[in-house]
Structure 1
Amino acid sequence: MKQVVLNLKDGDLTVEEVPIPTIKGSGVLVRNHYSVISAGTESGVVDLADKSLIGKARARPDLAMKVINKAKQDGPISAFQQAMGRLEKREPLGYSSAGTVISVSEDIKDIKPGDRVACAGAGYANHADVVFVPRNLCAKVPENVDFKNACFTTVGSIAMQGVRNADVKIGENIVVIGLGLIGLITLQILKASGCRVFGVDLDESKVNLARELGADLSYSRNSPNLEERIKQFSRGIGADSTIITAATRSNDPVDFAGKITRERGKVVIVGLVGMDIPREEYYNKELEMRISRSYGPGRYDRNYEEYGQDYPAPYVRWTENRNMQAFLDLISMKKISMEPIITHEYEIEQAPEAYNIIKERKPYLGLVLKYDTDKRIEDKVILKSPGPVSAISESFSPVLGVIGAGIFATSILLPNLSKIKGVKLKGLSAASGLSCESVAKKYGFEYCTSDYHKILSDPEINCVSIVTRNSLHASLVIEALKNKKNVLVEKPLALNEEELNAIIEAKKENGGFIMVGFNRRYSELGVK
């Protein structure tokens, strides 16, 4: 399948062929139809990757400090190698998409293959033909909502959470500062909530679009007498709440919000802006400042996002998933329209061209990628043509398949295996398609796949190395033996006596060698 990836070291953005992901835990596999390029989050990552090492350190002093602390603890060489290893990793992009479910984990009963869903989450709802998404990060799409509109659900949920933090009431006067993608969605949600909305932005074209989308009034930040206009708009009271959806290092949005918001009103920060709060203004008015966190409660909670543990609705009414549902409902009821906001549409193969619009600071709002859902997607990627095998001995020529591409595999096992003459690295399997392709290409495997059965059923492979989670070792060893493979498995061989006995029986029935990697066997302390 195709996936958009970013090289963090040099900023090179490409569309790669990688294996499809597998279902990991409680979640669904989704065939994407559309995905959204985020002007804020993704452009920040791309800009950082484009910088030199010094530029990266200046832009992210927190990460630079981690390297310094690592150098103090383990030495400069180790710290440098770890930092460069992190930069050499290719990063998937995207966090808001929509598509059709093609497979679900056994525990999910309310979603089935063929359902239409909107997907959320960095590392999950990527710009890729197929994505794996945990249950709580996907929401069903109403029948009358198309995929192009639905793919904005994650971005829309960010706007939704900002409005919820403002705790708006019918008839209130709300000012929205920053009329980009999230700002324009925010004003539509506010209008659907029965509020009067005043929009502010530096860009006249966005100011005009805000009026088309329902803003009662909207003006440029540079308009004369802007404070007075807002005062008149609010009938002399001032804004009940000001929602800041701008993206700027300037402190002006926070300063201006303090001036236009009424006493005991609320200022809600959704965008990334300067936060040098003018204390006197905020103190004298007793303003309440709230910082809105992403798409809602549940965000950054692994138990909620990855393990599917929902919060009870009577106690947490609007989780991130329920925010996603609410946004889709508003589109379904024609309260929100994304069509006027979509300025560019590209096929996934044209993703680098789409990102150039962001890099070159060209005018844009909604950037979407479209996917060819009719083409067949292979679950195995061929990286190079098969080559001859050089025998280690006259009687045996090892052809190796590896299952697992985690830290131990990439830092210890594969670097050493790749140096052994006569060992042919044939196939690599890992759950993540992108990391599988990256590791396989680095160490010269002929192909990579997210389906380990492809490794076990390959007739040329006669040796399998298993470097997965401990709980999978025994079952994979047994499957490998049944497929007439010799096995090198990392410790432990089994987790209990029952698994061990099953391995012994499989060995008796099928033959083959079993070797267990006890990594400290030849260490100085181990020898003593």
Structure 2
Amino acid sequence: MKQIIQNYKTGELKVEEVPVPVIRQGMVLVKNAFSLISAGTERASIEIARKSLIEKARSRPEDFKKILNLAKKQGLWNAYKTAMDRLEMPTPLGYSSAGIVAEVGEGVQEIKAGDRVACAGAGYATHSEVILVPENLCAKVPDNVPLEWASCTTLGSIALQGIRQADVRVGEIVAVIGLGLLGQLTVQILKASGCKVIGIDIDEEKIKLAKECGADLVLHPKVSDFGFRISDFTNGFGVDSIIITAATESNEPFLLAPEIARDRARIVLVGVAKIDFPREPYYRKELSVLLSRSYGPGRYDPEYEEKGIDYPIGYVRWTEKRNMEAVLQLMSEKKLNIEPLITHKFKIDDAQKAYDMILGKTQERFLGVLFEYDIEKKYSERNIFVSQKLSVYSALRLSVSSINVGFIGAGNFARSCLLPNLRYEGVNLIGVADIQGALAKSVANKYGFK
């Protein structure tokens, strides 16, 4: 099957042929129909990957500290080798997709083969023809919701979780700063929640789209009567909540927020902005600043995501899966319209064209960008032969006078300690298997497996 892979050392993007995942307990095997490019997240990842080693260290200070600590324990050379090895690990891109269930693992109860599902999770809902996803990161798609729309469910859940963090009430006035795809979804969900919405952006086209999608007031922050129009719309009180969905390296959203907020308003950061603001205006209005963590409770908890242990609904009403289901329900009820938000669809083989656009190389405007897959295609091959002349049978007939070695698992220990020491005459490295097909293929290429 095909999968989009990034080399974090060089920044190179490739469409690789990798083994089809093998079903496991608690997991769901899905044939992707569509996957969504998260423009902000993936652009940032690609830009960091293409930086020099020094620039990478500056942009990832926490990771650099870990390498320094490792150097103190194991020496500079070992720390350098470890860092290079991890940078060379293939990184699948994408975290939001939708498709058809091909197979379910033991213990999966709510999903069966043939179901239409929306999928979430970095490393799971990737830009791949076939994906393997934990049950708690899958949600059934209502019959009247197109899979194109469903592929945006994860991003919709991020928007919804930001709204939940803002703790909005019916009739409240909420400002959304940043009207990219995430901001547009936030605007529509707020309207469905009974709020009045002010959309703010520096892009006139996005301002126009937000108005078409239901925003009550849309503004460019630099218009001369900006403050007056906010004051007039809120009867002089200011907005009840501000949700920042912008992607910027500046702190301008945090400078703008207190100017339009009422006393004790809530400010929620969903996007990416520099968290740097003056104390005085925030103190004077006693503003609350909150961060929204991805798509809801359960995110980054392996007990929930990987082992399938759900949170009791009486204690945690809205988990990430229940947020996904709520977004799909809004789509089904026509309260969340994805159609005007999708601007481009690409085949996976045209991935480089898609990312050239995302990176601004083509100067083409875009918003929602999808990869489209052939769900009728048959996928059965779980072996990739690095040596084109080799087959399973010829591999098994290799010379018995040599030591023939196969690896199950290509983790850090195997790559740093075992494999480098097997590079000598008399050892045939035959095959390597790993739950990450792209990693298995990368290791096979690097160490000369057949």
1:3 Cα deviation after fit: 0.3
1:415 Cα deviation after fit: 2.9
Query: Aligned letter for 1:371?
Result: Y
What CA deviation, in whole Å up to 9, does each residue of 1:29-53 have, x standing for no partner? 1110000111121111111001011
Query: Aligned letter for 2:161?
Result: Q
Aligned length: 443
1:403 Cα deviation after fit: 2.8
- 1:437 partnered with 2:441: yes
Which of 415, 420, 439 aligns to 2:425? It is 420
**Counterpart residue number, 1:450:** none
Contact 1:142 1:328 in 2 (8 A): yes
What CA deviation, in whole Å up to 9, does each residue of 1:154-177 have, x standing for no partner? 110000001111111111111111
1:234 Cα deviation after fit: 1.2
**Counterpart residue number, 1:201:** 201
**Unaligned 5+ runs, structure 2:** none
Query: Aligned letter for 1:375?
Result: K
Q: Structure 2: how far apart are the matches of 1:58 and 1:158?
A: 28
**Larger displacement relative to structure 2 (369-378 or 130-139):** 369-378
Q: Structure 2: how far apart are the matches of 1:404 and 1:54?
A: 31
Query: Aligned letter for 1:440?
Result: A
Q: Structure 2: how far apart are the matches of 1:266 and 1:444?
A: 56
What CA deviation, in whole Å up to 9, does each residue of 1:44-91 have, x standing for no partner? 111100101111112122222222222222211111111111111111
**Counterpart residue number, 1:277:** 277
1:293 Cα deviation after fit: 0.9
Query: Aligned letter for 1:12?
Result: E
- 1:123 partnered with 2:126: no
1:404 Cα deviation after fit: 2.7
1:401 Cα deviation after fit: 3.7
What CA deviation, in whole Å up to 9, does each residue of 1:168-225 have, x standing for no partner? 1111111111001100000000000111111000100000000011111101122112
1:104 Cα deviation after fit: 1.0
**Counterpart residue number, 2:349:** 349
**Counterpart residue number, 2:9:** 9
Q: Structure 2: how far apart are the matches of 1:78 and 1:183?
A: 44
Query: Aligned letter for 1:443?
Result: Y
Superposition misfits of 4+ residues, deviation over 6 angstroms: none
What CA deviation, in whole Å up to 9, does each residue of 1:352-391 have, x standing for no partner? 11111122264321111011222222222222233699x9
**Counterpart residue number, 1:371:** 373
Matches within 5 A, 1:173-322: 173-322=173-322
**Counterpart residue number, 2:68:** 68
For 1:431, what is the secondary structure of its paired residue? coil
Q: Structure 1: how far apart are the matches of 2:244 and 2:409?
A: 45
**Counterpart residue number, 2:415:** 410
For 1:381, what is the secondary structure of its paired residue? coil
**Counterpart residue number, 1:386:** 389
Judged with a 3 Å threshold, the aligned counterparts in structure 2 of structure 1 residues 276 and 406 are, in CA distance, closer, same or farther, namely closer
Contact 1:25 1:307 in 2 (8 A): no
- 1:47 partnered with 2:51: no
Percent of residue pairs identical: 53
For 1:241, what is the secondary structure of its paired residue? strand
For 1:66, what is the secondary structure of its paired residue? helix
Query: Aligned letter for 1:177?
Result: I
Q: Structure 2: how far apart are the matches of 1:428 and 1:61?
A: 33
Q: Structure 2: how far apart are the matches of 1:75 and 1:172?
A: 58
Q: Structure 2: how far apart are the matches of 1:258 and 1:435?
A: 47
**Larger displacement relative to structure 2 (341-350 or 184-193):** 341-350
**Unaligned 5+ runs, structure 1:** 447-528
Q: Structure 2: how far apart are the matches of 1:89 and 1:429?
A: 15
What CA deviation, in whole Å up to 9, does each residue of 1:239-289 have, x standing for no partner? 011111111121111111111011111111111112112211111111122
Query: Aligned letter for 2:425?
Result: I
For 2:199, what is the secondary structure of its paired residue? strand
Matches within 5 A, 1:135-174: 135-174=135-174
Contact 2:97 2:125 in 1 (8 A): yes
Judged with a 3 Å threshold, the aligned counterparts in structure 2 of structure 1 residues 37 and 400 are, in CA distance, closer, same or farther, namely same
Q: Structure 2: how far apart are the matches of 1:10 and 1:397?
A: 36
For 1:383, what is the secondary structure of its paired residue? coil
Judged with a 3 Å threshold, the aligned counterparts in structure 2 of structure 1 residues 31 and 212 are, in CA distance, closer, same or farther, namely same
Judged with a 3 Å threshold, the aligned counterparts in structure 2 of structure 1 residues 66 and 399 are, in CA distance, closer, same or farther, namely closer
1:398 Cα deviation after fit: 4.9
* TM-score, scaled to structure 2: 0.94
Contact 2:24 2:106 in 1 (8 A): no
For 1:40, what is the secondary structure of its paired residue? helix
Q: Structure 1: how far apart are the matches of 2:417 and 2:263?
A: 62
Judged with a 3 Å threshold, the aligned counterparts in structure 2 of structure 1 residues 434 and 392 are, in CA distance, closer, same or farther, namely closer
Q: Structure 2: how far apart are the matches of 1:193 and 1:409?
A: 51
Query: Aligned letter for 2:376?
Result: D
Contact 2:28 2:105 in 1 (8 A): yes
What CA deviation, in whole Å up to 9, does each residue of 1:413-442 have, x standing for no partner? 333334233x43333222221111111122
Contact 1:392 1:398 in 2 (8 A): no
Q: Structure 1: how far apart are the matches of 2:69 and 2:419?
A: 28
Q: Structure 1: how far apart are the matches of 2:425 and 2:262?
A: 73
Contact 2:82 2:416 in 1 (8 A): no
For 1:380, what is the secondary structure of its paired residue? coil
RMSD over aligned Cα, in angstroms?
Answer: 1.8
Query: Aligned letter for 1:87?
Result: L
Query: Aligned letter for 2:413?
Result: F
1:397 Cα deviation after fit: 5.1
Judged with a 3 Å threshold, the aligned counterparts in structure 2 of structure 1 residues 411 and 65 are, in CA distance, closer, same or farther, namely closer
For 2:39, what is the secondary structure of its paired residue? coil
**Counterpart residue number, 1:324:** 324
Contact 1:22 1:432 in 2 (8 A): no
Contact 2:268 2:291 in 1 (8 A): yes
Q: Which has the higher contact order (CA 8 A, sep 6+)?
A: 2
Q: Structure 2: how far apart are the matches of 1:428 and 1:85?
A: 17
Contact 2:6 2:12 in 1 (8 A): yes
For 2:97, what is the secondary structure of its paired residue? strand
Contact 1:24 1:431 in 2 (8 A): no
**Larger displacement relative to structure 2 (163-172 or 1-10):** 163-172
